[in-house]
Structure 1
């Protein structure tokens, strides 16, 4: 058996045919968070089409101190995958054909799964479709990965009665997080990891903090810096956590649990110290309770990748819902 036949057989054993899938017991997707399988011939991958995929889907993540790709991309040639499909959650299939078609197929061979099909007469046609549909694809994949992280979090959840009682909310926090500090209107949870730690802050402020919505980002930064001065310090005197001034935070308007929310992403540092890292801050405007509910995640993991750590924190934050009175 020559090497090519052996390779085809080997990959066939690793993969499965969609036609043979048992509809009553759909296969569950696997794979690392924030990864994409791109099925495309080497000729296209090593040219403009591959460059476009890398530029769109492996562009730097906003708000991280070091450059990390939005998604981890794994490329496979079409010839070795014909008739089969991997069980990863996010797949992009690119082929040349007689028509220019872009299709999205959910749960094609496993669940949950997104398969994005690009078929084009020419490389230029494929490039045009990628340019047009990339923002939508990124949004879909990001939401899928948030939901996958939330599923993993639910395997073992922290007892959050204290949080529910203090803030009138429901939130799904993995049991690996421990209470680091509890004060009126403020809770700090922390998870120790090999390379450092990740933290989740929950606190609330008067609604008038965001009365002037035009200055929302500056008011949020002032609020988080005041929280740092109050509760989050280094080992030496006058070492409080502040927003790093050298980099302008990334800011956008969003929605959480049906309420307006302001999302701020940037980097923090400990004043007069060498500690720093990324943060993501959700400020939810809760007019019914006359408050701004703040949920912030940040991590300290020097010299290590931080994308997936911050993604986990954002998935926790996005699980929050406010208990109705």
Structure 2
């Protein structure tokens, strides 16, 4: 009961802070409805961090970079989870305020002009709440300055206190914006879909997933399906391998299991000796919850056996108990000379829509 009461109190405080932050952002200016706000702008995967430049150059900035800009595992070159750009609060203009993703970082122990400016994004009441309760350190809101915008406020009584909160909640903070990014990708990606192909998969095999417009059905076999999008400069691919579940071999070594699939199913029609394999690099394999099912997720690099192509892939292996069937799903991209981050996020979004067996009822 004590724990529940604490959670309720924290929830009420965060709700109260939300009201205070909302009031602060209007700041006596003309109130705008969402329909009159500008559209949020900026490239995908970019976050503007509004904070004191001295703190950005210090330990607090370093922890924010570790949280949001560390390299993504499983890509050919180092690419950050997010491209982050620090903004001096004294230089925050209306154009910058329309960014898709923003983080406002405030600590109450700093007295510089920039830190004082950060306090102007809060009311006196919210500042008092932060000073009185060290357990709260974040609040998020949407569409404060632009439609489709996500803002995260991070705050603490001191720099050290906020650093400790960021370190202990790093994954939660990162996932906050990853979820937002994937939602935006989904909204764009599925504006138009290949409904006919989706129905074919459901009717032929008892599973389906959302297929964006422009993806073609490259293979449709009794145990293997492959859809792909071909462009002059890149290609995006999703394939599904499915057989009766008879052993846990796939979970013991998902990379080796992948090899048994691609060596048979992903061969060049014109050059049968050429097939898809994995690059000899460490792969990240972890246990995950995939749409409510226990799964092994793998992130790594693929190549063709003649080394004529390669790239990144993400895969999931799991069992559908209603069908007594094991599934291996993979999304991979071939995009030479291009960054791979956004391609792979698109693959993750498509794979996340997979449904089979009883989920289709």
Do both share a fold (TM > 0.5)? yes
Structure 1 pair 33–84 and aligned structure 2 pair: CA distance change class (3 A):
closer
- Is the contact made by 1:286 and 1:292 (CA closer than 8 Å) also made in structure 2? yes
Choose 1 or 2 for highest CA Rg.
Answer: 2
Distance 2:46 2:34 in 1: 26
Name which of structure 1's ranges 224-233 and 137-146 shifts more when overlaid on structure 2.
224-233
What residue ranges of structure 1 are gaps of 5+ in the alignment? 1-15
CA deviation vs aligned residue, 1:214-255 (integer Å, no higher than 9, x gap): x7141x3333222222221245342211122x2122111222
Write out aligned runs for 1:163-182 (5 A). 163-182=201-220
Q: 1:82 to 1:117 in 2, by over 3 A?
A: farther
Shift in CA distance, 158/134, structure 1 to aligned 2, threshold 3 Å: same
In structure 2, the partner of 1:61 is 72
Matching of residue 71 in structure 1 with residue 82 in structure 2 = yes
Contact 2:190–2:213 (8 Å) recurs in 1: no
Alignment partner, residue 208 of structure 1: 246
Alignment RMSD (CA, Å) = 2.7
**Distance of aligned partners of 1:17 and 1:185 in 2 relative to their CA distance in 1, 3 Å threshold:** farther
What residue number does 1:154 align with?
190
- Corresponding residue for residue 223 of structure 1: 257
2:34–2:143 contact (8 Å) kept in structure 1: no
2:139–2:154 Cα contact (<8 Å) kept: no
CA distance in structure 1 between the partners assigned to 2:42 and 2:176 by the alignment: 17
- From 323, 329, 347, the equivalent of 1:289 is 323
User: Map of 1:258-277 to 2, 5 A cutoff?
Assistant: 258-277=292-311
Equivalent-residue separation in structure 2 for 1:208 and 1:267 (angstroms)? 28
TM-score scaled to structure 1, two decimals?
Answer: 0.83
Structure 2 gap ranges (5+): 1-24, 110-130
Distance 1:143 1:228 in 2: 30
Which residue pairs with 2:101 in the alignment?
90
- Secondary structure of 1:208's counterpart equals coil
Aligned to 2:50: 39
- Give 1:191 shift: 1.0
CA contact (8 A) 1:280 1:310 kept: yes
- The 4+ residue runs of structure 1 with deviation greater than 6 A are 24-27, 82-85
Asked if the contact 1:257/1:322 (under 8 Å) is kept, the reply is no
Shift of 1:135: 1.5
Shift of 1:195: 2.8
Which residues in structure 2 correspond to 1:84-163 (within 5 Å)?
86-97=97-108, 99=131, 102-107=137-142, 109=144, 113-159=149-195, 160-163=198-201
Distance across 2 between alignment mates of 1:118 and 1:35: 17
Distance in 2 (alpha carbons) for counterparts of 1:164 and 1:293: 15
Residue by residue over 1:130-164, the C-alpha shift from the partner in whole angstroms, topping out at 9 and shown as x without a partner, is: 22232211112112222221111221111211122
CA 1:95 to 1:181, structure 2 compared with 1: closer, same or farther past 3 Å?
same
